Amino acid sequence: MLPGDRVIRLVLLLCAGFLLVVDATPPSHPWPVHVGVEAETDTTVRVTWLSRGEINGFFCSEPYNPPYDSYEVYFQPVGETSLTLAARTRDTTLVHNPHGITGDYVLRGWRGDSATWGYSATGTTVPIHYWQVELHELNRGDTSWLSFHGSMFSTEHVDMYVTDSQAGSVGPYLYLASADMMSEDPGSRTQPSDNLFRTWFSPELTSDTTVTPLWDTLTWSRCRRIDSAPFFVTCRVSTGNFALINVTHSSGLHGILKFEAWYQRIGGLRLLGH
């Protein structure tokens, strides 16, 4: 399920439920626009929003008049259907500590003691889910690399690739390697592009995780051997974004690696709950 699907269902559910109880006749411009979610620290989130009015279908740059007195910011943890009040504030920004959990941020505006509009889904820290990804060893096919930027197999920004770290494709082990190592690879062939970026991999994890280990250049490396499946590892790409990878199948003999991944689109945020 894509984040957009969840947002649409959330809005429909709330409209059918208690939104009508809170405000049966919301105004024509019922919620703030231009809501942003970014990392305040590697485990806390800053939510920002700008209240704008709408005139004849066009958003004006001035705040809606009269302005909202305050806002309620709610948090809906991933996998849950209930909303938890995170804060009520007069500002248009909030720093929230989700205690290692990802989810959706939802706002409600107030004037005086009355809610002038209902709940609207605004932003999310839930990672993007890549499922049933299959990559081939560097000398086995044209789908040996992966990009978390745009198209999965894009050559515009290559983050990692699969190799057996030797000439040919003989195994017995496969490695996830940083894209910028491709030119040094003993089995290197024609590179997909010059857009090969550096990625760091954590030590192997014992199980699934919701928060990546702290990143450093001592215990993390640019190449990680896949000994067997399942194999859990987190990575940090060149843009500072983190991802969790679960290798479900690894065959050095056939040069095939299958996995699913969860990519945190918020740069610098280590939260990967899914």
Q: What is the CA radius of gyration of the chain?
A: 22
pTM for this entry: 0.81
pLDDT in tens, 108-165: 878 777 666 556 657 899 999 999 999 999 988 778 999 999 889 888 899 999 999 8
Which domain range does residue 154 map to? 128-263
What is residue 67's DSSP assignment? Answer: P
Tokens, residue 2? 């894509």
Residue 274 in any domain: the answer is no
Final residue of a domain: which of 104, 124, 144?
124
For 218-221, which contacts have Cβ atoms below 8 Å and span 24 or more sequence positions? none
Claim to verify: residue 149 and residue 80 sit in the same structural domain: no
pLDDT in tens, 50-83: 765 443 444 444 444 456 778 889 999 999 999 9
Claim to verify: residue 175 and residue 111 sit in the same structural domain: no
What is residue 211's DSSP assignment? Answer: B
Claim to verify: residue 137 and residue 227 sit in the same structural domain: yes
How many structural domains are present in the chain? 2
Claim to verify: residue 163 and residue 113 sit in the same structural domain: no
SS3 37: strand
pLDDT in tens, 183-207: 888 887 667 788 999 999 999 999 9
pLDDT for the residue 57: 45
Nearest residue to 173 via CA among 220, 236, 232, 226: 226
Claim to verify: residue 13 and residue 53 sit in the same structural domain: yes
Q: What sections of the chain are H helices per DSSP?
A: 3-16, 19-22
Lowest mean pLDDT among 2-11, 89-98, 124-133, 246-255: 2-11
